[in-house]
Every structure is written in structure tokens, then in C-alpha cells.
Structure 1
């Protein structure tokens, strides 16, 4: 993947082999995304959930895909002592694709060449050799292992209805043209070597596209500083990325390509934040890639660090609610066998998806501008899905206001039984069973006429302001070590002097407004601080909650000016305030 020291912060099938792959259905024309979705990406946008596979000669070492760099190997020693010993005899394409399918994944991306430079196919491009210059640095030529694993995986994807895609690294630590340096970047031997490498890299890609017909190419190894003109150290820029994109599209016009032909320059078809979930929908299609245990390539040291199924399911839901895709990684061992931890995690996700996948596939993000304290929303024409991770003890679930006619409300796991509900200015109040049907995430479906559309907030509605996005002062900090917060974190205050200020708060037409504060106070005692609105202060006391992961709300009436020029500030005075998750200002 990306920089180890600073982690990297499938179109209807293409013209070639389209009929062989059962792509997910395109989105209905009436569905509203947060951004335009090109026709070639409709399958990808509807899929929502994919499998990433990091597999290469580094898997033999069992210390992650950055072993060459992190351990300071020379090219010759790494090639002869690591790559040459790689023997993936246990790689079972049917088993891997079957695992992805049972997990509910709709597409699969495997590393064809990672930063180490080892090609996982029988490439004939002559310059990609070992240090002797006599042997091609490829799986069959360098190890004697003659099976074509990419072809096996492609065939199984076609047989089982999963979309096949490939990863390719632009940077190449073992290529004769390059020498690795800090942060995993490389220095070119000469500008002639640079030109020749780019020419031959395109031939690599020509082989991959024409031989394996991937629906998507996932590039990486592009994080060089932007320089124009290029230099020997910063030898890849946006012009190169644009040229590479156009070259690949010339070979397959409907190919989907990620932004990392040169990230952060507006290139590619979608954004790909790594190991993070954006706090809100992005302006372009996006996909987050995530690990199961903190490792991309197999790392034996992290085999006891797998995320729980609950964490993974909730992360998937959060991503889709913000109109993104979720690419979840496995790293098979050096013998090609998928780890038990990976199988268990994906099997658990599959159990959830077998019941709740209608709330994921083909959905768009939440129709609302704020997120509820109990979970997240997704939607598709005719249905609003409320993903509930915190089951209300009162059995009353308040869902945001909709303009649509409601046909009925029910649990997705029990669609034959309607739930009672009422509508008011506060939203839709649904009476739930006493216990959640799923311990991780349960889904309530509001069946409506048309595409679910948010109504004007009033009463219990309003505008949510996340604490982690406010201005912090005097030691107040953003944390995420206690569960149950609704954004990307919450704010914790020091014993005295800490402050949290929300600027540009919308007061509407002005006048008194109900301010709702979501907080957690696991100290065992109530805590008092100052609430200052547009310079006028008052004391505010937050009662104790059962734990630091138990979030409650309190309300206070505050005077606001008309428009968006209001400030709301919390200050600790002599004792630290409760942790604050967000505030809601009623309309």
C-alpha cells in the first residue's frame, strides 16, 4: 500500500469479456447520489462492498508488504532470500472468491505488482529483471511456480459473479532504474532511465489489461511531491498521471481507474482515502480501503489484532451512509492460504449481509444533513433504511422528517410485520420491539413513495454541529477512545481552561432556540462549566452517565441572532467538562 511511516493518509463490463461477468445492477435513474456517477461506474457505485487482496513475495516473509523497505534489504538479498522462496501452492482461487461472495462483497482487487516490484504474472517486458539482469522478476520466471494465479482468480470471479480488478504500483523498489529512499519513494538513475521505465510500465499494463481484462485498475505508489518539470527524485507528477490514465483508457474505454495515477490532483474516476472514513460525503465518488487487523500484506505479528465483526459492520454502514464504497483487505500467508482470522471476520460480516444487504447494495447516502445519535441512514427509491446500533431503551426511535408519503415501517429482518409509527414536526417516531434483532446493527425500513427526501427540520429536528469540527483551545482535544460517538470523534476537556467554540452557527430568523448537547460523563459526579452564546455566559451542569461510552442529551434554551454569525462556546472552569460529541440547534 502506501507510505509505512505516514500511512496512505468495477461501466457495465468493459468492451472485452463483458458478457462473462455478472455485474451488479445499475442504479435506478431516479436515485439521487451526492455527486454525478458516470455510466461506466454505475456497477461500482451500486456494489458498495469489495475485497482487497495484498499478495506477493513479501507474503513469504510474513512481515507485511513493506518488508523490503522496513528491514533495509538490498535488492539482491531480498530477491534471492525472499522472492525466490515464495511458493503459493496453497492459493485456492475458488475458496477466496467464495469467501468474498459469502461476505457480501461484489468486486475484488488483487495486487499484480506492489512496491517490491515482483510481478505476479508471466510478464515478458524485458527490463523488469533481478539484479543480475538475466532473470525476469516475475512469479513463474523467478520462483519456478508456473500456475497463473491472476487467471485462476479471474476465471473464478466470472464463475461466481464477482467483478475482477487489479492493483499496480507505479513506484518499483527493485527495478534497475530506481533506488529506494526515505518514505518509500525512489530516485531514478537518469532521466533516460525514467523515460524507459514509464514506457515499459505501460507495456506491463498493456499485458494486464489485454490478458486479464480487469474492470478496474487500482493504482498506488504515486505520492511523489508535485514537481514541474520532473526531477530524478520527484520523477512522477500530474502530467504523468494524466498520460497514464489516458493510455489505460485507450486500451479499454470503460475501465474504471482510481485517483492514484496521481492523487490529490483531480485525476482518476474516484477518490480513495485510506484507513479513514471521511466525516461527510465527498464531492466525488469515493472508496475507503481498510484492513482487518492493521496489516495489508500478511504480517504474523498482527494475527491477534483482528477487528470485531461489530466494528467492521458498523464501519461498512458508516461508509455507505456517507455515499462511499468499502474495500476491505485480506493478506493471505506466503503459501497462499487465507488466515483463519480473515475467514472468521468475513464470515461474520456475511452473516449480517445475508439479512441486511438490501440496505447496502444500490443505496445512496443519507438524505439528512446530520447523523442521529443511534446510528446511520442509507436510502434507495422507495426505502429509507435506519441502521440502529444503539437500541433505545424507551423503544421509541425518532427518525428524521421526510416529505414523502409513508406506506409502512418494518424491520428488515422481519418484513412481514409492520411497526406502529407516528408523524410529527419532530420526525417519524417508530415503536420498536423491546430488544434489538441484531446485536451489531439492526435495520428499520421506512417504505415510502418515491426517493426518500428530507423534510424541513422543526421541533426535534435542527442542524447538527460535530464537536471535532469546532475550534478548540487551551488543551481541549479530539479523542475516539470511547465508543458511541456519532462523528469521527468527541472533545475532551482538561481540568481547567479548555474551550470548545462553534462558529458560524445558524440562528435562522433569530430568537430563542433549543440547544441540545450530546455528552458523556463517566466520572461518577456532575460537572459544571460555562456556556457562552455570542458573548453572554451561563453555567451548564452535565450529570453523571453510566460510563464514558454512555451518551446522553440535555437541552437548554439560548438566544441566537438571525443568520449564521452566531458563536456557541463551552469552557471548563476549575474542573473538566463532560466529553461533548455534538450539539443540535433546533430550527
Structure 2
């Protein structure tokens, strides 16, 4: 039954919850171990994220009630305006399949509190719109029909429910008197029960918005809700955003530099979620997940393909987002990119699905490596002009190497003079303009000796960009770029992006620093570059001629770490610097 409290829009119906519990055949079931539950997830590697709700009517992203400081009564009017008559679940699922995606995650309730499913616990849901159709049910049924895995996003935060606390900072006129967060938790528990019971098999429960509720008491409540969800769907994967850990990590809008490992040192389960939008729409520089009618810039298809490869090469999954229009259609720009990725995946999906992380920590070329047992897939983003690639430290014998899709077109294989590396001699032209794939079959176990950056014969420590790690967090901008066979760190406009190298010194020494870089825009003129190593910092100013760094550092023998930052960069501004390399020049005595 539906609550009659339409002005409030919620009501926990104890009787309805009891019926749902009794109807669940899975209650009390044993929970399979994570490796068993996650087997399909590791195989899938690529999924579709969908942020869709009444906020799409305004078209300024999913946070528009907060960013626009829209009063609750005014925001509630969007329910009557949300009429997505062009929504077609079969079309959405078919598009994801054509993109090569193996699972789909949809927002059932975002922070605004509006429920995109038919909930018996509130009237603030899809059944109160003119559409009066449970779009989540239609999408879940279609995923089951087409063999697509499905996950449900659910926001712990709720800006609509009267019992959710805290209020938004600007809601001075919205009283908290009588609000009871424990009552909200029961509402949340009931809705999760609905989602885990009424929609068939659900593969992922994707929480979000838990950062305001981190007390031990809150965590205990969320733990109980997750245990209940697992009893109803024993196979389900639950993410890490309810503040009690989880089955998988969820880095947002950035790619971890070297993947993620668990406390036991083993590779963890993780998934990068990322928008196609770039943050040049409403409320820039934020890239919204929901529909933003003002956003006109989208990540290029080739960049998205290379991000997918990069993530998978580090052992992760890629959950790529779309924000459908209020009509129910996915934007042409997003559709075009999904289909472009799909065309690449149709040719090279073998090098993505079911693969594991690269055995190489660093590569001396613009590309990545994925692995499946004794087969290495070498993804080449920029075909080298000399048609030679080095697989550094590969000690295993290569049985055969060829271009994927052309098994008769073999790739020449030889050893370097010192025996440490494998050299690949490539055909004349790149088979693919975005990412060509070479198949390297290994005879026996895969054995790779890690690359060590050490001083050359002249004592100089050369730190090229292709050996750098980009350590970032939400809003990463910096990325590797290749130009005429030369790699650099480009698109660098976020002061939180840090470029890092690790190297080894055989003895203590004093070094000056030389930067091989160029100004990426006029906005860079006069900005600072800061180098940190062993607790010592040097700085330089960016000019049209490059970067001049003054001072020296004294470094002890052993493994050292050097980082480069651009502290004056602005996320809203243009790129600042193209960084090719850093050299440490020994001071002669």
C-alpha cells in the first residue's frame, strides 16, 4: 500500500516488510566465498553506470538540488514533470552489449531521495510520475532476458526523507525537530529488502553517500542491512561505500597508479567509476554523473578505450557512466562513444575479458600489457617509428608472437644483448589507430624481473615519463600522451595530480635537477613546479624556454622516490606543463 502522507513522501509499512521477508526463499542461505562470488566480475572487466532521476528535468547534474539550493517543496514539483516516454529498457541493454559491457549499475535512489522503483514505503517514487512504470523492474527484467548482469546503486544520504540527518547547510528553514535517524535506517532497510526481493537476481549492491554517517553506531546499522541483503541474495557483491569495508574498492574519477592490493598483499577487487563528461558544463569544473544539458565536452572514444586498457592492466574493472535525458534517451554523444568502444572490443575483447594485471610494473613504450595465464597481450597505443618494442625484464622464453586478428602475421622475437629483455620487431603499420594488440605466448611460467632505474655510465639518473606513476585522487587530469613516438605527461591542470618515480642509487651523492618539459599553455607562464625527494624540496618557474630548477639535493644510497607537483595549477584552467623527463645530474668533486 502507498502512504497517504504525500507532502512528506515516506512511510515505513511494517506489514509490507513482513510479507517480503516471508516471501524470500533465500533467507538464511550460506554466503559463498568472495572468490566464487567475484568470478564473473573479474571476467567481465567492463560495465555501464547509469545516473538517472528527476534531476534530469533541470539538466544540471544529479546534485542540482544542493548546488542550486532548491527548496524541498519546489524540488518536489519535478515529480509531475518527469515523464520519460522514450525510455526503452531493451534499447539500453542492447546498447551496453554492443559496447562490450557485461554488467550494468543503475541508480535506484540518489541523494535527492527520489526512488526510481515502485516502493511500498514511500510515494516519492516513479509511480507518482506521469509515467507510472517501474523502470527499474523493466531494466532488471531486460538484463535477465539479454544475459546482462545488473547492479543497484542506492544512496545512504537522502535530502528528502524527514528523518535523514544532517540537513543541507543552507536549509535553515527545514526543522530537524522530531527527526529520528534510526527511523530512517528502518526505511532504508525496508527499501533494500524490496530491491533484493522484487527484481530477481541482483549481482551488485552499490552504496554511495555514506560519508556523513561514519559513527560506530551507524556502521553497525549498515552492517546489519548488508547482512540482510546477503541473506536474500547470497551471491551479491557489495561495494565499500557503507563505511564497513566491502567486497570491492571504488576509486572515483581517477585511475590508481599501480592498482590496489588488499591488506594480505594480494590483488584486491576494484572498479574505477568515471564519467564521459569532462566538467565544462554547469557548475564547472565538476563533471556531473546525471544529465547536464550545458555539458558539451566529452572524453574522446580513443581516450576511453585507453583508460579501459589501463585499468584492466592494473587488475581493475571500468564502470563507465551515462546520464540519460529526461525523455529516457541516452545522449547521442554518449551512444557514439559506447559504440566506438564496442567496435574495438569486438576485435580485441579477448585481451580484456578475464585477463589479469600486467606482470610489468613499468614499460618503456606508450601502451599496457594484460595477461591470461601464459599469454601476454601487449596493447600498443603509439606504434613506434622504429617498429621495435622492448618487454623489459621478461626472462621467460617466447613461444610465438603475432598481431591479434592476424595469427599468420608473426612478430619477430629476439633477446637483448645482455639477455635481460625481449625485443619485438613489429610489422610496418599499426593495425589499429587507437590500440593495437600483440599476442605473446610464453613457453612455461611467466617470469619478469622488475625494472630498476639506476644511474647511467655518466652517473646521470634519467627519469623518463613512461616510467612515471601518476598518483591522483578524484578529478584526475594528468595522463600519459604520446607524440611522434615520444611520451610525456600531459593534460596536467590539477594540483592534486603528482608524478612520481622510484629509482635506486648505489652510493650517496649530491645532484642538481634538470627538467625536460614545455609550457602547455600561456596560463603556465610564471607558475611553480615543485620537486620533492627524501624530504628535500626544490622549485622552479615555468617559462617559454622550459623550467629552470635551482639548488641541489643530497641523496643517500638505496631506493629513493622523487615527485613533481604543480601547486599553482587550477582544475578549471588549461593544461600547464608537458613533462617529458627529469634528470638528476651528479655534482663532480
Alignment TM-score > 0.5, same fold: yes
Deviates more, 1:189-198 or 1:156-165: 189-198
Q: Tell me the residue number matched to 2:131.
A: 145
Structure 1 residue 310, shift from structure 2 partner: 0.9
Q: Tell me the residue number matched to 2:12.
A: none
Structure 1 residue 519, shift from structure 2 partner: 4.4
Q: Within the alignment, does 1:57 sit opposite 2:54 as a pair?
A: yes
CA offsets per residue over residues 209-250 of structure 1, 9 Å max, x none? 111131111111111163456xxxxxxx43333233222212
Assess, with a 3 A threshold, how the Cα gap between structure 1 residues 201 and 583 changes in structure 2: closer, same or farther.
Answer: farther
Match of 1:277 among 235, 252, 255: 255
Q: Tell me the residue number matched to 2:370.
A: 378
Q: Tell me the residue number matched to 2:291.
A: 298
Q: Within the alignment, does 1:166 sit opposite 2:152 as a pair?
A: yes
Q: Within the alignment, does 1:394 sit opposite 2:386 as a pair?
A: yes
Structure 1 residue 467, shift from structure 2 partner: 7.0
Aligned mates of 1:149, 1:184 — CA distance in 2: 31
Aligned mates of 1:459, 1:200 — CA distance in 2: 56
Following superposition of structure 1 onto structure 2, how do residues 14-53 of structure 1 map, counting pairs within 5 Å?
38-53=35-50
Following superposition of structure 1 onto structure 2, how do residues 236-251 of structure 1 map, counting pairs within 5 Å?
237-251=218-232
Aligned mates of 1:83, 1:436 — CA distance in 2: 52
Aligned mates of 1:381, 1:50 — CA distance in 2: 23
Match of 1:208 among 195, 206, 209: 195
Q: Tell me the residue number matched to 1:218.
A: 206
Structure 1 residue 434, shift from structure 2 partner: 2.2
Q: Within the alignment, does 1:258 sit opposite 2:239 as a pair?
A: yes
Deviates more, 1:191-200 or 1:330-339: 191-200
Assess, with a 3 A threshold, how the Cα gap between structure 1 residues 316 and 69 changes in structure 2: closer, same or farther.
Answer: same
CA offsets per residue over residues 156-185 of structure 1, 9 Å max, x none? 212222101111011111112236314999
Assess, with a 3 A threshold, how the Cα gap between structure 1 residues 412 and 569 changes in structure 2: closer, same or farther.
Answer: closer
Following superposition of structure 1 onto structure 2, how do residues 375-454 of structure 1 map, counting pairs within 5 Å?
375-424=367-416, 425-450=419-444, 452-454=446-448
CA offsets per residue over residues 343-378 of structure 1, 9 Å max, x none? 101011111111111111111111122243321111
**Any stretches of 5+ residues in structure 1 without a counterpart?**
1-13, 17-35, 129-135, 230-236, 471-477, 493-499, 524-530, 535-543, 549-558, 571-575
Structure 1 residue 271, shift from structure 2 partner: 0.8
Assess, with a 3 A threshold, how the Cα gap between structure 1 residues 319 and 510 changes in structure 2: closer, same or farther.
Answer: same
Q: Tell me the residue number matched to 1:289.
A: 273
Assess, with a 3 A threshold, how the Cα gap between structure 1 residues 413 and 143 changes in structure 2: closer, same or farther.
Answer: same
- Cα RMSD after superposing both structures: 4.2
Q: Secondary structure at the match of 2:241?
A: helix
Assess, with a 3 A threshold, how the Cα gap between structure 1 residues 480 and 562 changes in structure 2: closer, same or farther.
Answer: closer
Assess, with a 3 A threshold, how the Cα gap between structure 1 residues 46 and 187 changes in structure 2: closer, same or farther.
Answer: farther
Q: Tell me the residue number matched to 2:468.
A: 466
Following superposition of structure 1 onto structure 2, how do residues 106-185 of structure 1 map, counting pairs within 5 Å?
106-125=102-121, 128=122, 136-140=123-127, 142-178=128-164, 180-182=167-169
Q: Tell me the residue number matched to 1:31.
A: none
Aligned mates of 1:501, 1:326 — CA distance in 2: 23
CA offsets per residue over residues 496-519 of structure 1, 9 Å max, x none? xxxx99897434x6699xxx9994
Q: Tell me the residue number matched to 1:483.
A: 481
Structure 1 residue 116, shift from structure 2 partner: 1.1
CA offsets per residue over residues 453-474 of structure 1, 9 Å max, x none? 313658999998637669xxxx
Aligned mates of 1:454, 1:204 — CA distance in 2: 49
- Contact preservation (8 Å) 2:116, 2:126: yes
Assess, with a 3 A threshold, how the Cα gap between structure 1 residues 174 and 186 changes in structure 2: closer, same or farther.
Answer: farther
Structure 1 residue 74, shift from structure 2 partner: 1.5
Structure 1 residue 432, shift from structure 2 partner: 1.1
Assess, with a 3 A threshold, how the Cα gap between structure 1 residues 518 and 419 changes in structure 2: closer, same or farther.
Answer: farther
Assess, with a 3 A threshold, how the Cα gap between structure 1 residues 185 and 228 changes in structure 2: closer, same or farther.
Answer: farther
Q: Tell me the residue number matched to 2:331.
A: 339
Structure 1 residue 584, shift from structure 2 partner: 11
**Any stretches of 5+ residues in structure 2 without a counterpart?**
1-23, 27-32, 262-267, 278-286, 457-461, 521-530, 535-543, 548-553, 565-575
- Contact preservation (8 Å) 1:403, 1:454: yes
Q: Secondary structure at the match of 1:87?
A: coil
Q: Tell me the residue number matched to 2:246.
A: 268
Q: Within the alignment, does 1:94 sit opposite 2:96 as a pair?
A: no
- Contact preservation (8 Å) 1:372, 1:486: no
Aligned mates of 2:95, 2:341 — CA distance in 1: 11
Q: Tell me the residue number matched to 2:185.
A: 198
Aligned mates of 1:457, 1:329 — CA distance in 2: 35
Q: Tell me the residue number matched to 2:309.
A: 317
Aligned mates of 2:582, 2:260 — CA distance in 1: 21
Assess, with a 3 A threshold, how the Cα gap between structure 1 residues 173 and 413 changes in structure 2: closer, same or farther.
Answer: same
Q: Secondary structure at the match of 2:226?
A: helix
